[in-house]
């Protein structure tokens, strides 16, 4: 009788443990899946603060221009493949235009700061009225205020590529994809100016 009780108890414990794991595992996976891609993009952008601007640049090791930074962030963190130029991104039909009053972290903001009348610069909105961008030769990736006199005057619009990109432009993510991205070259925060 004693052996029967012990076996019954062990069988019951194993059943309860297996049932608990079956219910806990999907919940843990759900938390991972539900983490906002915008947070991952913004976090990665913050890691890149201090990387030098480089015209035509698209990598951590060589530097970034403004559109190269955005293409890199969306590709590496959200597996969304964006057009390469600011002009193409601004006119993309795969992403809705966003009113300035409705900006959310992860939106892409556009500027005309060279007097040509066309879009000439872009950055990643990170919330709190701020955006991260690669400004120009001789400067580094930095945070600027959208409502500063300069950037406010040159602001021309925003797009929301998260949630607005078509399924065809997404690539299934895998641990291997994330493992192959360039590693950050972290700059000392004291060297990086966060003002435009």
What are the extents of the domains in the chain? 35-179
51 neighbors 64 (Cβ within 8 angstroms): yes
**Three-state DSSP class for residue 122:** strand
Least reliable range by pLDDT among 6-10, 33-37, 81-85: 6-10
The tens digit of pLDDT for each residue in 147-162 reads 999 999 999 999 999 9
pTM of the model: 0.67
Fold exhibited by the domain 35-179 = endopeptidase fold (from Nostoc punctiforme) (3.90.1720)
> What is the model's pLDDT at position 8?
52
Stretch 24-40: mean pLDDT: 53
The torsion region of residue 174 among left (phi > 0), alpha (psi -120 to 50) and beta comes to beta
Residue 175 has a pLDDT of 31
Cβ(185)–Cβ(57) under 8 Å? no
* Cβ pair 35, 77 in contact under 8 A: no
User: Would you call 113 exposed, middle or buried from its count of C-beta atoms within 10 A (0-12, 13-18, 19+)?
Assistant: middle
Better-predicted residue by pLDDT, 191 or 150? 150
Active site amino acids: 66, 121, 133
């Amino acid at each position: 009788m004693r052996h029967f009780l012990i076996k019954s108890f062990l069988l019951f414990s194993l059943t309860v443990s297996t049932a608990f794991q079956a219910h806990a595992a999907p919940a843990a996976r759900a938390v991972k899946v539900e983490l906002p891609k915008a947070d991952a993009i913004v976090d990665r952008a913050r890691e890149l603060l201090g990387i030098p601007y480089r015209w035509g640049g698209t990598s951590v090791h060589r530097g970034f221009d403004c559109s190269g930074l955005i293409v890199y962030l969306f590709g590496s963190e959200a597996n969304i493949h964006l057009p390469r130029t600011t002009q193409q991104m601004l006119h993309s039909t795969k992403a809705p235009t966003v009113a300035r009053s409705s900006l959310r972290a992860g939106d892409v903001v556009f500027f005309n700061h060279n007097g040509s009348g066309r879009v000439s610069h872009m950055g990643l909105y990170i919330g709190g009225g701020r955006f991260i961008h690669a400004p120009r030769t001789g400067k580094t990736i930095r945070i600027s205020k959208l409502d500063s006199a300069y950037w406010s005057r040159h602001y021309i619009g925003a797009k929301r590529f998260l949630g607005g990109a078509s399924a065809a432009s997404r690539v299934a993510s895998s641990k291997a994809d994330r493992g192959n991205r360039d590693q950050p070259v972290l700059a000392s925060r004291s060297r990086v100016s966060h003002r435009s």
